[in-house]
Amino acid sequence: MHVSDATFVVTDTETTGLKAKEHRVIEIGAVKVQDGEVVDRFQQLVNPQRSIPGRITKLTGITTGMVFD
């Protein structure tokens, strides 16, 4: 079987930083690939219950205001 014939999901997360004990998830994303084509997508912002550092906003484009609710 070639990868182009497989069905799989690729996931990605964005966080407020790199230390698991100190930082929180701010976004979850996934794409489903079937026969080499993206057939479905999922994206959800997550409120981390804290401010998003400026360096993370520069990297991800996600601001505290975007995840407030």
Q: Please, what sign has the CA dihedral across residues 54, 57, 26, 69?
A: positive
* Cβ(50)–Cβ(68) below 8 Å: no
Residue appearing with tokens 């489903």: 32
User: Does this model's pTM top 0.75?
Assistant: yes
Strand order in the sheet with 37-45: 7-15, 25-34, 37-45
**14-46 tens-digit pLDDT:** 999 999 899 999 999 999 999 989 999 999 999
CA distance 6 to 64: 38
